[in-house]
Chain A
């Protein structure tokens, strides 16, 4: 086969993000979304989230000729790659019992006092600790709904689930969060009371 016919074949199967410029624009526009999603799934540490996001885009780059869709479809495609990357990593890390680190994060501080920031951070750690014990599917629903702010309808479409199933899962997650965050707060109050 001549190099010209190879070029033609490649051009014929090229997708909307096959070119470097188009892919770079996709990366620029979507990496914050993928980063937040992966953070929502694994809860940190930041360096590992970054590694997973980097691998996600490298895999997307390798497969870019096989993708055909608009920007929204591209986001869903990237989130699916990221999710598989998370699963592969934790499957590979079963030797370490599937461990994740929880980190403090900074909060947008314009309307929060230093005291409120401490409380916010404490709540953040409590929520993250509980989220990381949810099953894989619930963690994914949680990340899509609360970290990315997707609507139930979008989540259901992305995961191929009935909207009602998504809603039921969200209610269960929230109930668990309400109960366990409250329990932890009560335990802390008791400990502080005895010291």
Chain B
């Protein structure tokens, strides 16, 4: 038994040792813009990329405009969404939702919750029908609030803005730029449907996503179950309380 266990362990260690798990050039191009890489080039094998990008601010702007479409190949990258090359995914795995308890799951005291999150939490002042908070999760840097009326489930996300967060949508998804909360956001209707072992993107699926950024915080409204019109989502977003 022990010998068999050891043999299996060695086989797995060999498999993962051989697997070429390395970041692509896209990653290094992105990291060349990181705050710690901007003033002088990074050491090591990626020095030449950093040097080129750090040459002048103007060169960075021009170069990035060229790099994004080249490195993303057939994928279109929006501000909040990344469009996959296809509407079908043959091999998909459904992860068990086994999340640990959040740092705080109570929004009664917004100041206390904001202190845990590290930013001023905003909540919608206007919600349609009987919809109300059913769950909240506050962690350093991110907050998730779930609303439901028993039929429609809406998840409101807010978090410290990071440069690269992106959601995958199908090739056929229509990403629309929409004015929301005083800034421009992006809206997508549709979702991934499970078909056999894979997934198919369906523009007519009930789910919808609205994302925007304001004052260093990224916001998202996700319709998880049921249906909600784009205008309703925007109205909810426009009703967010002011940061305290």
Contact = CB atoms under 8 A, between A and B. Distances in A.
Interface string B66-110: 000000000100000010000001011111111110000000000
Nearest to A40: B16
A70 to B, nearest CB: 19
A53 B167 contact: no
Contact of A55 (B20, B100, B137, B164): B164
A178 B21 CA distance: 23
A20 B36 contact: yes
A164 interface: no
B31 A146 contact: no
Contacts of A49: 23
Nearest to B42: A24
B130 interface: no
Contacts of B95: 90, 98-100, 132-133
By DSSP majority rule, is chain A's interface helix, strand, loop, or mixed? helix
Most chain A CB within 10 A, of B26, B75, B95, B137, is at B95
B21 A100 contact: no
Contact of B97 (A84, A98, A171): A98
B22 A32 contact: yes
B82 A58 contact: no
Given A40-B16, A120-B15, A87 B27 contact: no
A67 interface: no
B27 A101 contact: no
Contacts of A147: 16, 21
Most chain B CB within 10 A, of A32, A96, A99, is at A96
B157 A92 contact: yes
Contact of A129 (B9, B89, B93, B166): B93
Interface residues of A, number: 72
Contacts of B24: 46-47, 50
Contacts of A25: 43
B42 A28 contact: yes
B115 interface: no
B40 to A, nearest CB: 7
Given A124-B15, A133-B93, A146-B16, 4 more contacts: A20-B36, A54-B31, A92-B157, A102-B92
Interface of B: 5, 8-9, 12-13, 15-24, 26-27, 30-31, 34-37, 39-40, 42-44, 75, 82, 89, 91-100, 137, 139, 141-142, 144, 155, 157, 159-160, 162-168, 191-192, 194, 199, 207, 209, 220, 222-224
14 contacts: A21-B40, A27-B31, A28-B44, A35-B22, A47-B26, A53-B23, A55-B164, A58-B34, A90-B95, A100-B93, A100-B95, A107-B18, A107-B20, A133-B95
